[in-house]
Structure 1
Amino acid sequence: MIVTLASLRTRWVTLTGSFVALTLGVALLATMGLALASTLDAPTQRPERLAGAPVVVRGPDELRVGDKHRPLTNYRGVPAGVATRLAAAVPTVADRSFAVRDGFTGHPWSVARFGGYRLTAGRAPAAPGEVVVSGEPALLGSEMQDRRVVGTVELAGYERALFFTDTEAARLSPRIDNLVVDADPGPVRTLIGAAPGIQVLTGDERRRADPDPDRDAEALMTVNALLGTAGGITTFVSVFVVASTFAFAVAQRRRELGLLRTAGATPGQVRRMVLAEAAVVGVLASAAGCALGARGAPLLARLLVDERLAPPWFVIGAHRWPFHVAFWTGLLVALAGAVTAAVRAGRVGPLEALREAAVDTGSMPPGRRIAGALVLATGLGLLVWRVIVEPAEALHRKTYTTQPMLLIIAVALLSPMVVRPLVRAVRLPGVTGLLARENAAAGIRRTATIAAPVLITVALTGSLLGATATITTAKADELRERTRADVIVEQPDAATVAKARAVPGATVMTSAQTAVYVLQEGVALVGFPASAVDAGALASVRRLPVVAGSLAELDDSSIVVTDEWAQHTVGSRINVWLGDGTPKTLRIAAVLAAGTGSDGAYLTPANAPGLAPDRLEMTVPEPSLVAGLGLTREQWLAEQAPRTGRQTRVGFLVVLGIALLYTAIALANTLVMATTGRVPEFAALRLAGATRGQVLRLVTVEALRVVGVGAVLGAAVTLLNLAGIWAALGRLSVWSPMVVPWQPLAGAAGACAVIAMTAALATAVRRAR
């Protein structure tokens, strides 16, 4: 222990990078752990739109098959018989919600008071052509949805409301979504009797009548996924950096360890000394990281709320277990990172004390070769398996986020085999270029250690951003390929549909989004998105990838499915539940390639009763015949172009920020250690006639060359990952170009180059005198 403490005292500079990396890693783990823990005890979402209602009666909104249940896509509303029976006995108000163009939601005026809506200007609607809108009083008197605005109410955070008279709302949407009852819940349940699935909601349960009753839960799930991914990347990168740093530190100390062996130290004693150093650094860094994490968690919560990734009420609770997890994880990371270095340290022989050359002449250890080959085989095997067996899995975020890690580890382990050829592949003119090339080639271990953090930053940047860009481009190309309509109208009303059908020579198709549910293998109740379409016009307005059967066979007794369904044999009959929970047996008329998953099943409107069309698509012989009716194909495609989700972008920025931070620490620490150990080399160069400026140029060129090696290896990992995604898309019948984010890749490599040059020059300026 005395030797360990003395070693730490004299080598504190070389351990500073490991200490900072571990401190930040533990701080991030503690911060994210506290945030994750705070999502597990979140308060129940409070009711909003009908918060002032005494009792809310709601129809069945879940499909239950045995002990399995799923929310229904097409809510059926309160049965007419139940509504009539209650209205005859107690005071009731029928609540209706329906989509209106331009993002508004329509309601009858009589329910406005239950959501806290109050007139800020004007009056209530009294005639069919009058509406009250949630917005500024300046809207009073304007025209909206072909109706006159006679009143305004304040904006609510959960919807943009448009209130009609009760009579007109009932005409526009006959379904009763909820029934507000002014009575005690007991008598209401008695009046309902044995009607199956009818809900009597009171208290916080009234949130089930809100437009998005699980909004907060879904937001917290997003937070969980974001923090889980960032935490996993943090752990991975910190182990990677610490292991690399400790291994290089031991390599730099070969003569020192050889002296210890000459003095009588056994291999076990040397290993224990290295592990003890890591333990001391781990304990101190983990304690500092926990203290830093306690301050960082509230800042993270505020950032999540400001970025609208978490609900406004989200705060960090009082939890202790995240600190334990972060502390012990940090200590284990330090020890795990030092294990390989400790094993190598025990192999140092007494004769190393006499060694003068710093050239790495030995071959790569067999254990490292085997480990690298196994990890590479695993990574490539999983990539190929996904392409062949589960291509859709390759498009999931959890897959393309974790897939690069195996390949990064494999390339890092095997990098000493390719460092020398890569370094010597580029020949720069002059003595400086020659010396930089030979120095980097001679110090393979040093070069590989410096290149490792560059590899991880460039590979993560290219793989994550390239994966999302490739998938987004594929979805956009798929949408363009499958859309044949000349004009598209979103949320068409009956008058628009009639006008479109009256155009001479036009082929018109209306569609409504629904779902079908299947009990797969008697175990999982799976819901698939579906569209209820006019079967006769489907092939004319959409170009679908039919792999079996024919779209012409679609009728009221059949269904079109994708090949991701467990049962997808044309002509076979399949038991499904429709979007409103109705069980039905349908014949498979055709099978489509699943593609990126944007298409689902296709039904006829008879299998989606009560649904109003939410889209109209039409082909016309002359576009001028329908000018102004809707969007042209190009306008609609531009508006509907798939984009990377905001949560995904923020998550990747967090991950890449962590990677770049660790890269800065690792590069600076390793280059400081490496440059400090080269003082005799600099002295020899000065004695040979080199000027101080030439020595500094040599250090700069060598640092840039090594960063270039890491960038090339990172780009290779990126291309391999993106090739896997591109091949998986091809297997899904989506042939779209592979998108390589060259600009972010160059930016990441450039940032690494700046960090490397700064660290190398800052040390060399002092040491090259």
Structure 2
Amino acid sequence: MLTIALRTARARWVTFVGSFVALALGVGLITTMGLGLAATLDAPQRLPERFPQAPVVVKGDDVLRVPVPGGERTGKLAHPGPVTPELARRLASLGPTTEDRSFPVRAEGGPKDLVGHPWSVAAFAPYTLDTGRVPRSDDEVVTTGWARTGARIGTDHGPVTVVGTVADRGFEDAVFWTDARAARLSPAIDQLVVVADPTAVRDAVRDAMRDTAPDAVRALPGQESEVRVLTGRDRRHADPDPEREREALLAVNALLGTAGGVTGFVSVFVVASTFAFAVARRRKEFALLRTAGATPGQIRRTVVAEALLLGVAASATGCLLGAYGAPVFVSYLVDEDLAPRWFTLGDATWPYHAAFWAGLLVALAGVVAASWRAGRVAPTEALREAAFETRSMTPGRLLLGAALLLAGLVTLAHALLTDPSDLLHRKTYISRPMLFIVAFALLSPLLVRPLVRLIAWLPARLPGASGMLIRENAAAGVRRTGAVAAPVLVTVALAGSLLGTTATLNEAKAAEIRQRTTADHVITAGPGGFDPATIERIRAVPGTEISATAATAVHVQEEGTALIRSDARAVDPAALARTARLPLTAGSVTDLDDDSVIVTEEWERHTVGSTVEVWLGDGTRKALRIAAVMSIGTGGNGAYVTPANAPGATVDRIDVRLAPGADGRAVGAALAEAARPAGGRVLTADRWMAENRPGTRRTTRTGLLLVLGIALLYTGIALAGTLVMATSDRARDLAVLRLAGATRGQVLRLVAGESLLVVLVGASAGTLVAALNLAGVRAALGLLHVRSGLVVPWDALAATFGACAAVAVAAAVVPAALCLRRGAVERAGERD
């Protein structure tokens, strides 16, 4: 049997090519994503940047450590403490020390993220002079190449002269003052370089902490403010934003994991559909073999053996494609700043194994069901089934499709009733559509005929027979129509669900901002925030009421083991009540005081009047009473405390409300003049909301576009392969139309129209899936008290449909034109 199948493979090369390309591409994509994912899991530890030449670096601990049963939980402090002068004096007795200070700088024509340092710490990077000399007076500085030697530049710390430049090392834009001037500009010691034995430094730090910490503080685990002693690779924790690259790796990991998961899903779905259709179109061949005496088992083994050979070849080719594609993809991630500069592929081999065996499994799974059905028919029934499609919906397919649809609906309803906010999480709204996609695809034979007749209702009633023939051909060939519509369904459903959900969530977040903001102007700070003098100048502007707030954070322990961080704002309760409208479900903003906190319903404890233990932004542990509770909303409502519970927080935003009768233009000009020395920007509330309108994160947007690009690529390949196979099988039908009097152009237009109709069927089914998912998201927002509209990405859906239609028409018309070239009579007289 296998020998016969292999000898007849020449006549079925189109089937094998289409299946081979689809499977090889899927394996190649899975290999590429797997290699990138493996690189994020085994990434090398980043080396220190600012202090690679420093023996020991001492800094205030920025990590909150909370002991829990069976271990310890950690969190990032919003406001770590500095190195105290007393500790600096103790460590100076061990060896030479250098005090490091980092403070924001605003300079004319300079970078926005400019940071100032004392010159003495430059040697530990090491920074070396490219031009000029070291600074010697208060108005002299050295820059990292963003300004030329000899330039006179205005800064928020007074005019300075650039007397030298150093090479930009890529991790910061810096300006170096003399040590004395830097100490006056930023008195706090952020970090201390100590040239001494690390053990001696740690002992000295431990003794200092024991001597200076109050007994009450030492009695509370997790509240003691420690100092970190950094050596070796740990010195990277003294770099600016040391967690940025770890967070970037996590983002890349999530991106590749999501893309890999969706790639696997789409490849399984499309490849299985392609293989199943390829087997189904060979029913006449199987019928003849059964009549000649072949047993059902022989037919099944033949099909499985063919799939095994094809799967091995395609999977091996896919692994080779992935080996060449992964370095290119990783380079793209680095070039687009989606991954750290040093990110590179490792030597992991498990992605090759996973992709190869997954491809082989997909190839076998794609033919098992179809081959089982083909082998079950009796010899006398086989020829009849080969002539036309008698049953495209089997009981097993109907049962599985209904079960998946029911499971999707039940889980959606359960989420809405128990935790609607879960539907707004990225992992949920990316994975949930897949359940409905598979369910609709399995139930497609039930949907094809109603959708075909609905879509073709008007064309079928137009003059001429073309509309009627298009409708009847598509409705009669349910299996063919379903096979072509399936990949379109996947792409349209993913595009509508993913892009629609993100756009709807962004609109919901924007609606929350509009609802909460009652101020007339918003003043945003430059680097470093607003100093007290600037706040008083703004407060003194007549005709205004202001609310100055600062960014901070609090941590809370929930369920006995989890340490949860909540972003928070430090506010004056009375001023906040006049300039904002919080989405409260209980309590009052004015009840907030130095012994209380405003929380959201996400907190484990969220009853007004109850007490919750929190860790403040500097690590201080404190018991606070819940003064008010906010709704969960889209998840960004955070918490509110008073400035007394945000030590170290700097005011970075001032909301301004105009008094009745005040001239908005005149007040705006006065506010701008008052905020200018601190680099503040005065915006109307509408403009501020427009500039701060929520958007999709760059890594998330890239991941979604990558997912949709993969789906669209797969759809194109599947459409082309399936339509070429289907059109080749219809050569005699096309020839009969020619004999009946149809012109060549009419036949080709008929083929093109049928292809468009089938794509419309798939797009309609995909739109139904997207609508179902978006309806769930909108219902969740309603339950979370968020008033916003549903955003449907019509432009993306139209572009997806256009791309699918173009591929489908070309893949159907070109083979049809080639079939018609040999002559109608010859084709009509052929026998399969």
Look up the match of 2:391: 362
CA contact (8 A) 2:617 2:647 kept: no
Matches within 5 A, 1:284-363: 284-355=313-384, 359-362=388-391
Indicate the SS of the match to 1:500.
helix
Distance 2:254 2:234 in 1: 27
Amino acid at match of 1:74: H
Displacement of 1:122 in angstroms is 6.3
* Cα displacement (A) at 1:127: 6.0
Q: CA deviation at 1:294?
A: 1.2
1:149 and 2:160 correspond = yes
Please state if 1:248 is matched with 2:277: yes
Aligned partners of 1:139 and 1:149 also within 8 Å: no
Displacement, 1:159? 2.4
Which has the higher mean CA deviation after the structures are superposed, 246-255 or 620-629?
620-629
User: Helix, strand or coil: the match of 1:328?
Assistant: helix
Does 2:487 align with 1:458? no
Greater shift after overlay, 503-512 or 699-708? 503-512
Which residue does 1:685 correspond to in 2?
737
Give how far 1:541 is off: 1.8
Q: Is the 8 A contact 1:358 1:443 kept in 2?
A: no
Q: 2:198 aligns with which of 177, 185, 194?
A: 185
Instruction: Please state how far the C-alpha of 1:168 moved relative to its aligned partner.
Output: 5.0
Contact 1:458 1:749 in 2 (8 A): yes
1:620: Cα distance to partner? 2.7
- In structure 2, relative to structure 1, the CA distance for the partners of 1:559 and 1:164 (3 Å cut) is farther
- When the two structures are superposed, what TM-score results if normalisation uses the length of structure 1? 0.96
**Corresponding residue for residue 758 of structure 1:** 810
Aligned to 2:479: 445
In structure 2, how many angstroms separate the alpha carbons of the residues matched to 1:110 and 1:612? 27
Distance 1:144 1:525 in 2: 41
Aligned to 1:158: 171
Q: Residue deviations 1:604-633, cap 9 Å, x none?
A: 111111322222222233332242233222
Determine the structure 2 residue equivalent to 1:3.
4
Secondary structure at the residue paired with 1:355? helix
CA distance, structure 2, for counterparts of residue 331 and residue 211 of structure 1 = 47
Pairing 1:590–2:637 present: no
After superposition, the C-alpha distances for 1:499-526 in whole angstroms (9 at most, x for unaligned) are 0121234222222222111111212111
**Superposition pairs for residues 251-650 of structure 1, below 5 Å?**
251-355=280-384, 359-362=388-391, 364-425=393-454, 426=456, 427-428=458-459, 429=462, 430-485=464-519, 486-490=521-525, 491-621=529-659, 622=662, 623=664, 624-627=666-669, 628=672, 629=675, 630-632=681-683, 633-650=685-702
Amino acid at match of 2:717: I
The separation in 2 between residues aligned to 1:370 and 1:139, in whole angstroms, is 80
Structure 1 Cα separation of the partners of residues 638 and 557 of structure 2: 17
Provide the C-alpha distance between the structure 2 equivalents of 1:139 and 1:688, rounded to a whole number of angstroms: 89
**Structure 1 segment 662-673 matched on structure 2, within 5 A:** 662-673=714-725
Is the deviation greater in 118-127 or in 668-677?
A: 118-127
8 Å CA contact retained: 1:242, 1:338: no
Alignment-derived partner of residue 61 in structure 1: 62
Asked whether the 8 Å contact 1:570–1:589 carries over to 2, the reply is yes
1:108-159 deviations in Å (ceiling 9; x for gaps)? 3432333334455666566666655541217821212252132264444222
Answer whether contact 2:546 2:575 (CA < 8 A) is retained: yes
Amino acid of the residue matched to residue 218 of structure 1? E
Task: State which of 696, 704, 711 in structure 2 corresponds to 1:652.
Answer: 704
Mapped to 2, the partners of 1:636 and 1:167 lie a distance apart of 39
- Following TM superposition, by how much is the alpha carbon of 1:634 offset from its aligned partner in structure 2, in angstroms? 2.7
Asked if 2 retains the 8 angstrom alpha-carbon contact of 1:514 and 1:608, the reply is yes
Gaps of 5+ in 1: none
Q: Which has the larger displacement, 525-534 or 446-455?
A: 525-534
Shift of 1:753: 0.5
Q: Is the 8 A contact 1:132 1:149 kept in 2?
A: no
Distance 2:696 2:177 in 1: 37
- Could you tell me how far apart the structure 1 residues matched to 2:121 and 2:480 are? 72
User: Deviations along 1:631-650, whole A, 9 cap, x unmatched?
Assistant: 22233223322222221222
Q: 1:215 aligns to what?
A: 244
Q: Which AA in structure 2 matches 1:446?
A: R
Q: Is the 8 A contact 1:26 1:286 kept in 2?
A: yes
Amino acid at match of 2:43: A
Q: Secondary structure at the match of 2:400?
A: helix
Q: Is 1:104 equivalent to 2:114 in the alignment?
A: yes
Task: State the one-letter code of the partner of 1:636.
Answer: W
**Aligned residue for 1:82?**
87
1:565 to partner: Cα distance? 0.4
The CA distance in 2 between the partners of 1:380 and 1:164, in whole Å, is: 64
**Does 2:17 align with 1:16?**
yes
**Corresponding residue number in structure 1 for 2:828:** none
Cα distance in 2 for residues equivalent to 1:350 and 1:692:
38
Separation of aligned partners in 1, 2:814 and 2:311: 27
SS at match of 1:559: strand
Name the CA shift for 1:613/1:155 in 2 (closer, same or farther; >3 Å): farther
Q: Secondary structure at the match of 2:58?
A: strand
Contact 2:283-2:385 at 8 Å conserved across structures: no
Residue in 1 that maps onto 2:217: none
C-alpha separation in 2, matches of 1:447 and 1:324: 35
Shift of 1:169: 4.0
Alignment of 1:136 onto 2:153: no
Distance 1:610 1:214, change over 3 A: closer
Q: Identity percentage over the alignment?
A: 57
- Is residue 716 of structure 1 aligned with residue 768 of structure 2? yes
Query: Residues 643 and 17 from structure 1, CA distance in 2 versus in 1: closer, same or farther, beyond 3 angstroms?
Result: same
Of residues 14-23 and 471-480 in structure 1, the stretch that sits farther from structure 2 once superposed is 471-480
Contact 1:246 1:338 in 2 (8 A): yes
Contact kept? 1:140, 1:150, Cα under 8 Å: yes
Structure 1: distance between partners of 2:587 and 2:476: 65
The structural deviation recorded for 1:712 is 0.9
Q: Could you tell which deviates more after superposition, 417-426 or 103-112?
A: 103-112
Distance in 1, Cα, partners of 2:43 & 2:182: 36
2:215 matched residue in structure 1: none
Query: Does 129-138 or 199-208 show the bigger shift?
Result: 129-138
Deviation track 1:686-741 (CA, whole Å, cap 9, x = no partner) reads: 22111222111111110111111111111111122122222222222221111111
Report the AA paired with residue 257 of structure 2.
Answer: G
In the TM superposition, what whole-angstrom CA distance separates every residue of 1:167-203 from its partner, at most 9, and x where no partner exists? 5544554432211112232332233233373222122
- The one-letter code sitting in structure 1 at the alignment partner of 2:747 is V
- Following superposition, the deviation at residue 166 of structure 1 comes to 4.0
Please say if residues 26 and 290 of structure 1, whose CA atoms lie closer than 8 Å, have aligned partners that are also in contact: yes
> Per the alignment, in what secondary structure is the counterpart of residue 614 of structure 1?
strand
Kindly provide the amino acid, as one letter, of the partner of residue 757 in structure 1. V
Find the aligned partners of 2:150 and 2:429 in 1 and give their Cα distance.
48
Alignment CA distance shift 1:483-1:116 (3 Å): farther
Q: Report Cα offsets for 1:184-224 as digits up to 9, x if no partner.
A: 32332233233373222122211111112123322222221
Query: Which one-letter code corresponds to 2:81 in the other structure?
Result: R
Q: 1:402 to 1:585 in 2, by over 3 A?
A: same
Instruction: Output the aligned Cα RMSD.
Output: 2.1
1: distance between equivalents of 2:605 and 2:722?
A: 57
1:586 CA drift (Å): 0.5
Q: Is the contact made by 2:551 and 2:650 (CA closer than 8 Å) also made in structure 1?
A: no
Q: SS in structure 1 opposite 2:159?
A: strand
* 3-state SS of paired residue (2:629): strand
User: Would the aligned equivalents of 2:618 and 2:648 in 1 still touch at CA under 8 Å?
Assistant: no
Q: Residue 548 of structure 1: CA displacement?
A: 0.3
